[in-house]
Chain A
Amino acid sequence: MRFIEEYRKPEIQKRIYKEIQRKSSLLKKNVNLMEVCGTHTMVIGRYGIRKLMPENINLISGPGCPVCVSPENFIDTAIEISKKKDVMITTFGDMMKVPGSFSSLEKEKAIRGNIFVVYSPLDALKIAEENLEKNIIFLSIGFETTAPLIAQTIKIAKEKKIKNFFILCGNKLIPPAMINLLEEKDTNIDGFICPGHVSVIIGTSPYIEITERFNIPCVISGFEPFDIILSIYILLSNLIEEKYEVINEYKRTVKEEGNLKAKKIIEEVFDIVDSEWRGIGIIKNSGLKLKKEFENFDAEKRYEVNIKKYSKNKRNCICGEILKGKKTPFDCSLFEKICNPENPIGPCMVSSEGTCSAYYKYEKK
């Protein structure tokens, strides 16, 4: 793609970086900019962007990794269901190592063998069509980026009258989580780098409420290193001029109105409900649940399992504080020594996009 190659030219990046330095000297105080999305955290780590920043600009990592915020009881429920007769569990690969209260999917797979990684919910549906004597459960996690795909898969299953396909629904919504962070008294966020691929679906309007209510600028950013440094530059310019608006840096992919077809199908298939985020707790109206007419596909309706409703946090793991941007992995006494990618204690270390895992790989002191 020629135009992307063009963006990657080092001169351009150097120029923006110089401008960031110049702008930073005009700031009246230190600023905390939060990258909400885990994929941004990875890019920032891989390209050393955090370390490149002038001293008064602090990049903090937010709650935008769907794996990291899936609560223990989601894993516990999946494991309980996997013990039922004739069940096959299908999941995105990242979920395999996530610790539940007692075990992980990976450990349970070693015992019963009926847990499989798929690339797409459509692959899970295909497995259902090919294994009619089994019930196939898809562990449905992800934000607005993923929800429409799952909704579409459910609709296809309904059209094809497939009766052995179910989802365990743990899908979550990003804007309510951002608002939740800002409502907490002791969070200190001066600007948001908003998740590009969530925004592909939801467009720019959900962030307008945030900018207006909290006087904080939001930039929707792409995933190339230049996208991120350009977004930082835009945030700084807005902070200096005290302009609190939503800017779309990722116009090549994100339309102002979002993806209307995808938004419509989310509304068609799901209701909005309160939802538990690991380490954070219940956030109002931040989750999705299958609508009544699709509840035949709800694994929790098909298999009633008795799991403690709310998870309790793992001792000493400060993922919750990290997901809120209040602390960094360096503040955790377990980081590196006890908790590492081989032996993850908390979810921020499990997922490759988790803040602790990104820090372990790229930000070691």
Chain B
Amino acid sequence: MCLAIPMKVEKVEKDFAYVSIGNVKRKVNISFVENVKKGDYLIVHAGFAIEKLDKKKAIETLKILKEIK
């Protein structure tokens, strides 16, 4: 139930963002996340964004993965 999926921000309007993944579009509350901008990926759970996906950190993990011999 704690499933939360990354969705891409298309538009921000006050406390809400319009996000999409594939053909699914939603309007989600963004009051827990700061500086939401178009193009960001938000982790969405039950109508709210609970965090922003950090692209730099994602690439860091990728480096660790590649270092494992």
Residues of chain A whose beta carbon lies under 8 Å from any beta carbon of chain B: 1, 3-4, 6-7, 12, 15-16, 19, 37-39, 64-67, 92, 94, 119-123, 141-143, 145-146, 148-149, 152, 195-198, 200-201, 223, 226, 230, 233, 249, 251-255, 259, 261-262, 265, 351, 353
Between A and B, 6 residue pairs with Cβ closer than 8 Å are A12-B66, A38-B1, A121-B47, A252-B57, A252-B61, A253-B53
Interface hub of B45, B53, B54 (most chain A Cβ within 10 A): B45
Provide the bound-state CA to CA distance between A122 and B61, in Å: 34
Question: Which single member of A122, A200, A230, A259 contacts B65 (CB below 8 Å)?
Answer: A230
Provide the bound-state CA to CA distance between A63 and B33, in Å: 28
Provide the bound-state CA to CA distance between A120 and B49, in Å: 12
A39 with B2: CB separation less than 8 A: yes
Provide the bound-state CA to CA distance between A37 and B1, in Å: 9
Q: Which residues of B contact A38 (CB under 8 A)?
A: 1-2
State whether A353 and B1 are in contact (beta carbons under 8 Å apart), knowing that A200-B51, A261-B32 are contacts in the complex. Answer: yes
State whether A19 and B69 are in contact (beta carbons under 8 Å apart), knowing that A121-B46, A152-B31, A253-B51 are contacts in the complex. Answer: yes
Provide the bound-state CA to CA distance between A293 and B65, in Å: 49
Provide the bound-state CA to CA distance between A1 and B55, in Å: 10
Provide the bound-state CA to CA distance between A265 and B29, in Å: 14
Give the secondary structure class of B's interface.
Answer: mixed
Residues of chain B whose beta carbon lies under 8 Å from any beta carbon of chain A: 1-4, 6, 29, 31-34, 41, 43, 45-48, 50-51, 53-55, 57-62, 64-66, 68-69
A19 with B2: CB separation less than 8 A: no
State whether A16 and B50 are in contact (beta carbons under 8 Å apart), knowing that A145-B2, A198-B2, A200-B43 are contacts in the complex. Answer: no
Provide the bound-state CA to CA distance between A101 and B25, in Å: 39
Which residue of the partner chain B has the closest CB to A352? B1
B23 to chain A: closest CB distance in Å?
16
Interface hub of B29, B57, B64, B65 (most chain A Cβ within 10 A): B65
Q: Which residues of B contact A16 (CB under 8 A)?
A: 65, 68
B57 with A92: CB separation less than 8 A: no
Q: Which residues of B contact A200 (CB under 8 A)?
A: 4, 43, 50-51
Which residue of the partner chain B has the closest CB to A237? B68
Provide the bound-state CA to CA distance between A92 and B29, in Å: 18
Question: Which single member of A37, A119, A196, A265 contacts B46 (CB below 8 Å)?
Answer: A119
Which residue of the partner chain B has the closest CB to A263? B32
Provide the bound-state CA to CA distance between A265 and B32, in Å: 9
Which residue of the partner chain A has the closest CB to B31? A152
Provide the bound-state CA to CA distance between A12 and B61, in Å: 12
Q: Which residues of A contact B61 (CB under 8 A)?
A: 7, 230, 249, 251-252
B50 with A259: CB separation less than 8 A: yes
A96 to chain B: closest CB distance in Å?
13
